[in-house]
Amino acid sequence: MGKEIDLMINYPKAKRNVEERGASKSEEDRALARKFGKDFFDGDRKNGYGGFNYMPRFWQPVIPTFQEYWNLTSNSSLLDVGCAKGFMLYDLTLLIPNMTVSGIDISEYAIENAVEEIKPFVSVANATSLPYEDNSFDVVISINTVHNLEREDCAKALQEIERVSRGKSFITVDAYRNEEEKRRMFDWNLTAKTIMSVEEWEIFFNEIGYTGDYYWFIP
């Protein structure tokens, strides 16, 4: 198995009112969010982002960390599983021109509204069945995505990441370390279907054969 490492350490931290979000979210809101359509990305805040727009201040501080950790160059290839509108991939190509990038997302809306420069490199697909040959990419990343699947499909997605990567991958998933963090996580959660403790995730990774790196989203 890989290691726990926070490659997102330079991603701007948002101020989160977890209690307010927990009190205001209904199961109807969660059901609508899990369609990952316009309502989730660009609709009311209670159903998702409340406007998912490109802002360089989010990913541009993170990309150099990726570049250094994986020694990325113009000859490298990277797949983003759950790429949404392709903001990270776009910033990656700005820093490392001519690098081979690809992205998939379950959301037709997100792909249709991707950054224009990235549209040729992204497509609609399911993380449980990636449309690529074995060992296709130097690096595969998936940020806050695979936990949106039920446990069995989450396992399939991680095994697919393992299959199409050449040994380097990184994911982030919803997790908790104690009862207080667990309470906050379930108050905050909108789309995740698989949420486990840090220890349970690591056991899960071992059981299904995921050998990449990983870190946690804990609100």
pLDDT digits (tens, 9 = 90+) for 114-149: 999 999 999 999 999 999 999 999 999 999 999 999
Q: Is residue 105 part of a domain?
A: yes
135's tokens = 């060992």
Q: Is residue 55 part of a domain?
A: yes
**Count of beta carbons in the 10 Å neighbourhood of residue 43:** 17
Locus of tokens 């054969």: 209
Helix axes 87-95, 63-70, angle to 10 degrees: 60
CB 60 within 8 A of CB 12: no
Phi, psi dihedral angles at 108 (to 5 degrees)? -60, -40
What is the C-alpha to C-alpha distance for residues 190 and 121, in angstroms, rounded to an integer? 28
CA nearest neighbour of 7 among 56, 61, 62, 60: 62
Q: What is the pLDDT of residue 66?
A: 98
Q: What is the pLDDT of residue 1?
A: 75
What is the C-alpha to C-alpha distance for residues 131 and 80, in angstroms, rounded to an integer? 13
* Dihedral-angle region of residue 48 (phi above 0 means left; psi in -120 to 50 means alpha; beta otherwise): left
Q: Is residue 119 part of a domain?
A: yes
Phi, psi dihedral angles at 174 (to 5 degrees)? -65, 130
Q: What is the pLDDT of residue 85?
A: 98
- Percent of the chain residues past pLDDT 90, beyond the cut: 87
Q: What is the pLDDT of residue 19?
A: 61
Q: What is the pLDDT of residue 14?
A: 75
Per-residue pLDDT tens digits for 90-99: 999 999 999 9
CA distances from residue 197 to 174, 175, 200, 210 in whole angstroms, order as listed: 9, 5, 5, 17
Q: Is residue 2 part of a domain?
A: no
- State pTM to two decimals: 0.95
What is the domain-level CATH number for residue 44? 3.40.50.150
Q: Is residue 12 part of a domain?
A: no
Kindly state the DSSP code that residue 14 receives in the 8-state scheme: P
Q: What is the pLDDT of residue 15?
A: 72
Q: What is the pLDDT of residue 16?
A: 61
- Percent of the chain residues past pLDDT 70, beyond the cut: 96
Q: Is residue 87 part of a domain?
A: yes
3-state secondary structure of 58: helix
Q: What is the pLDDT of residue 53?
A: 96
User: What is the average per-residue pLDDT within 63-81?
Assistant: 98
Between vectors from CA 12 to CA 210 and to CA 48, what angle results, nearest 5°?
75
Number of domains comprising the chain: 1
CB 104 within 8 A of CB 122: yes
**Count of beta carbons in the 10 Å neighbourhood of residue 102:** 23
- Is 90 exceeded by the pLDDT of residue 24? no
User: What is the average per-residue pLDDT within 69-94?
Assistant: 98
Q: Is residue 9 part of a domain?
A: no
Per-residue pLDDT tens digits for 104-115: 999 999 999 999
Q: What is the pLDDT of residue 216?
A: 98
Q: Is residue 191 part of a domain?
A: yes
Band (pLDDT 50/70/90 cuts) for residue 178 is: very high
CB 108 within 8 A of CB 124: yes
- Is 60 exceeded by the pLDDT of residue 22? no
- Is 80 exceeded by the pLDDT of residue 18? no
Per-residue pLDDT tens digits for 201-211: 999 999 999 99
Domain membership of residue 131 as a residue range: 18-217
